Structure 1
Amino acid sequence: MMLRRRPWPAVAGATAVLLAAGCGTGGAEAPEEAAATPHGYVEGAEETAEPQWRLVMADTAAGTLHMLDPATEEVTGAGAAPGVAEAVTDGRFAFFGTGDAVTVLDTGTWTVDHGDHVHYYRAEARLVGEAEGSGTLQAVADPAVTALSSDDGVRIIDRPALEEGELSVTAVEGGGTALAYGQRLLVARANGTVDVLDRDGAPADQTVGERCPDPRGQAVTRRGAVIGCSDGALLVTEDDGTLTTERIPYPDQAGAGPVRSFQHRPGASVLAGPAGDEGIWVLDVGAREWTHVETGPAVATSAAGEDMPVLVLGADGTLRSYAPASGEQLAETELMDPPGDGGPAPAIRIDTTRAYVNDPLADAVHEIDYNDDLRLARTFDLGFSPDLMVETGW
């Protein structure tokens, strides 16, 4: 593999959306057997001082899976998924849709955020198995479950079992788009209703009175869970076990169609998604405001966070950044040849200091410093086509 441009130092920051119980002992003296176990210990994993980002890629023609460690620049094979056509992640596990099934890969990198401190882990990557699922995959997890949505329904995957290499799956009746949030599951149905279920898929003790017509796009942020609807977004927040819903309608006379999906740095509360053929929508969850940015046709987009740039890859292969509140263009760089219409579109994946854009036509991935006028930090020449790409370790 060839590298172009100077490597950057290993990342020292962190981002995480996994919620976990606190680590403290409340001042009580730990039992002798517990004191022998280091704080944060996870059997079979190594705790590290820094987040362990991995770019997980699939060559759709060959049906092969690959992982790139940006810190060491090492590329490793991660197995095969014949017929792979799409990829999503819940932060640790990557899910590869093959048309009639979903191949599950444990990438062996993840973060646990305890609020006042964070743990980073790495372990051996391994293929776990196959789950049912067909088309338009979405995955959102908490420590107990991963909610996997697809065109043929919603499935709840037992997360602790998955971490042990076992697939324990429960189907949810009725289909829809699901999010794991607030120790419950939110399922937006095609008829516009939003059901609240427990982690076993049964009706929970609360309901959501608001409707979400034509649900599309979902995200979990530090300010709540968001579901895209044809008339705006539905924001769900949780306080001491109680769920509250709030509508964020599109601006009057917006002149653009509804958002089709949300992309963002994991946990960040600014979201971006394509809006028709002429631009993107940016949703600032904290401000409860939408901004329509006229970018021209967007091949890919993602948002870095509050007061941070929104990135858009245009049909001409140029990467541009925009201010999320005003829509003002901040910088641009000619990144790749026009991607074209054949095969999966490139994606933009953002972590705490870098963005990554896969370039299937060039068999490469570009690393971008989005805080330095979209400076091209490195290009990874891979020797295979990274048609699909997700980032794990969060």
Structure 2
Amino acid sequence: MSDSTARPTTERKDAVRFRSTSLALVGVLTIGLAACTGAPADTSADTATDTPSPGDGHGAIAGAEEVAEPPLGLTAIDPTGTVTHLDLLDESVTGIGEIAAPRAMTTDGRYLFADVGDGVEIVDSGVWTWDHVDHFHYYRAAPALLGAVDGDGSPTIATTNSSTSGGIGISFAGSGDAVLLDTEALSKGEIREQFRLQRDPHTGLVVPVGSFALITEAVDGVGARVVGYTAEGEPTGLEETCAAPAGTRTTRVGAVIGCADGALLAHVDDGELTVERIPYPADTPAGAVASFDNREGRPTVAGLASPTDIRLLDTRARTWTLLTAPAPLVHVTAVDDEDGHLLALAEDGRMLVLSAADGSLIAETAPLVAASLSEGAAPVLVADQQRAYLSAPSEKRLFEIDYADAARIARTFDTPTDPAFVAETGR
């Protein structure tokens, strides 16, 4: 699909196409100068029927300033828990505070959800975009540390495309607790649990879908089905089998949940929670996709069932495309642009640009993150409509890559410390 109607964005600061910069900012913040100058995801080509009905206020909250363009920024948590925000419009840096040292982090583009070992600490970046289908509203407020949601065991977090309405799901593997947070309350600085349900402990999911949620339930410690609940924690009566549920991503069409035999697509129709089953094509090798990734807001998601088994799900067409990777991979993400680009990180540290039609290799970089992968660090690969960003923790660098121009390295940023947990915010 064409990106010609993408929302406005700040001009990229890459007039000098090839340079390496050592910045005096806090190490993790140096990432933001490259990673967040990309244009926001193009969602305007999608239809209104795929977006929740807009509420009053157009995403505004008390005390927030509406601004004329996306307030793009980088909110970062370093390995010790220091939280900072880099404004990419004027490059100013704001210290937000300190949290416990994180083990992992999830983001929805406004909030950062940090796994700190005994729960989830929540950071509000203070910048967000509200999608009104045919146009957008942009807001800026004071960033803040909002507090923690207590829980036992590793949390799995699922978000939606809205930072002012709906819910945020947290599934704690140790206790089995299924928690749904109220996003509207969160946007006003309050952590409010809409429900906390007890389940058998397992690595599961709590997936918000409009004013509902789907939660996984286990048999013998392994997820076996998903069950529908209202935001108040009452069962809806909806239940679907889903062997080994893993991986979820919300698109403009609905929320995807991976299962061993395909995926479930959940959305709300006429006020009712609806789940569609999208099975793999016949004779597809068994295997669940552990995680899905895509360019924010696009309908197609991508995941790996094995290092060379790429699976693309078009949530609009309800169809799978199965591809064989040209090399073993550790991550894949769907750009879903009109040229059909698919980005992948190979086990040897190369970023590959592949065709989403047949999996063929279009372009590749050198092994940019070989040391990180060999040392067990976790590079992050993010795609927007113009660039890809690849973090290199062990190499202490971030690469900005023009994937549409033969995987050209547009900019390289050296960082004094490893780029641990970062999120592009404001879109």
TM-score of Structure 1 vs Structure 2, range by shorter chain: 0.7 to 0.9
**Deviations 1:192-216, CA, capped at 9 Å, x for gaps:** 2221111122223x514x3111100
Secondary structure, aligned partner of 1:361 = coil
The 1:371–1:123 alpha-carbon spacing in structure 2 relative to 1, beyond 3 Å, is farther
Counterpart code for 2:248: Q
Gaps of 5+ in 2: 1-21, 24-29, 44-49
Q: How many percent identity over aligned positions? A: 37
**Which residue pairs with 1:128 in the alignment?**
146
Counterparts of 2:114 and 2:293, CA distance in 1: 18
**Residue 171 of structure 1 pairs with residue 181 of structure 2:** no
The 1:334–1:136 alpha-carbon spacing in structure 2 relative to 1, beyond 3 Å, is farther
The 1:172–1:53 alpha-carbon spacing in structure 2 relative to 1, beyond 3 Å, is farther
Counterparts of 1:50 and 1:157, CA distance in 2: 29
The 1:241–1:140 alpha-carbon spacing in structure 2 relative to 1, beyond 3 Å, is same
Gaps of 5+ in 1: 24-37
Counterpart code for 1:196: G
The 1:155–1:12 alpha-carbon spacing in structure 2 relative to 1, beyond 3 Å, is same
The 1:157–1:54 alpha-carbon spacing in structure 2 relative to 1, beyond 3 Å, is same
Secondary structure, aligned partner of 1:244 = strand
**Residue 207 of structure 1 pairs with residue 232 of structure 2:** no
**Which residue pairs with 2:218 in the alignment?**
190
**Residue 93 of structure 1 pairs with residue 117 of structure 2:** no
**Which residue pairs with 1:30 in the alignment?**
none
The 1:149–1:355 alpha-carbon spacing in structure 2 relative to 1, beyond 3 Å, is farther
Task: Tell whether the 8 Å contact from 1:186 to 1:196 is kept in structure 2 after alignment.
Answer: yes
Secondary structure, aligned partner of 1:200 = coil
How far the C-alpha of 1:75 sits from its partner, in A, is 5.0
Counterparts of 2:72 and 2:51, CA distance in 1: 15
How far the C-alpha of 1:107 sits from its partner, in A, is 0.9
How far the C-alpha of 1:131 sits from its partner, in A, is 1.0
Of 327, 336, 340, the match for 1:305: 336
Counterpart code for 2:206: A
The 1:380–1:201 alpha-carbon spacing in structure 2 relative to 1, beyond 3 Å, is farther
Higher mean alpha-carbon deviation, 257-266 vs 43-52, is at 43-52
How far the C-alpha of 1:341 sits from its partner, in A, is 4.3
The 1:305–1:315 alpha-carbon spacing in structure 2 relative to 1, beyond 3 Å, is same
Secondary structure, aligned partner of 2:394 = helix
Counterparts of 2:58 and 2:238, CA distance in 1: 38
Secondary structure, aligned partner of 1:55 = strand
**Which residue pairs with 2:18 in the alignment?**
none
How far the C-alpha of 1:279 sits from its partner, in A, is 4.0
The 1:380–1:276 alpha-carbon spacing in structure 2 relative to 1, beyond 3 Å, is same
How far the C-alpha of 1:10 sits from its partner, in A, is 5.8
Secondary structure, aligned partner of 2:362 = strand
**Residue 55 of structure 1 pairs with residue 74 of structure 2:** yes
Of 290, 305, 322, the match for 1:291: 322
Structure-2-length-normalised TM-score: 0.78
The 1:85–1:12 alpha-carbon spacing in structure 2 relative to 1, beyond 3 Å, is closer
1:150-169 superposed matches below 5 A: 150-151=172-173, 152=175, 153-169=177-193
How far the C-alpha of 1:344 sits from its partner, in A, is 4.1
Secondary structure, aligned partner of 2:373 = coil
Counterpart code for 1:178: V
**Which residue pairs with 2:125 in the alignment?**
107
1:1-394 superposed matches below 5 A: 1-2=22-23, 15=42, 19=52, 21=54, 41-60=60-79, 62-133=80-151, 134-141=153-160, 142=162, 143-151=165-173, 152=175, 153-169=177-193, 170-174=195-199, 176-191=204-219, 192-204=224-236, 207-208=238-239, 210-255=240-285, 257-287=287-317, 288-305=319-336, 307=338, 308-334=340-366, 336-338=368-370, 339-394=372-427
Task: Tell whether the 8 Å contact from 1:282 to 1:293 is kept in structure 2 after alignment.
Answer: no
Task: Tell whether the 8 Å contact from 2:112 to 2:122 is kept in structure 1 after alignment.
Answer: yes
Counterpart code for 2:334: A
Secondary structure, aligned partner of 1:189 = strand
**Deviations 1:241-264, CA, capped at 9 Å, x for gaps:** 234332222234434632111111
How far the C-alpha of 1:325 sits from its partner, in A, is 2.6
Task: Tell whether the 8 Å contact from 1:349 to 1:390 is kept in structure 2 after alignment.
Answer: no
Counterpart code for 2:189: G
The 1:9–1:59 alpha-carbon spacing in structure 2 relative to 1, beyond 3 Å, is closer
Higher mean alpha-carbon deviation, 225-234 vs 369-378, is at 369-378
How far the C-alpha of 1:321 sits from its partner, in A, is 1.3
Task: Tell whether the 8 Å contact from 2:245 to 2:288 is kept in structure 1 after alignment.
Answer: no
Task: Tell whether the 8 Å contact from 1:156 to 1:200 is kept in structure 2 after alignment.
Answer: no
Query: What number of residue pairs does the alignment pair up?
Result: 376
Secondary structure, aligned partner of 1:259 = coil
**Deviations 1:67-97, CA, capped at 9 Å, x for gaps:** 4444545555443333311000123111000
Secondary structure, aligned partner of 1:362 = coil
Secondary structure, aligned partner of 1:385 = coil
Structure-1-length-normalised TM-score: 0.84
**Deviations 1:331-357, CA, capped at 9 Å, x for gaps:** 111262402344441111223433222
Counterparts of 1:239 and 1:56, CA distance in 2: 35
Alignment RMSD, CA only?
3.0
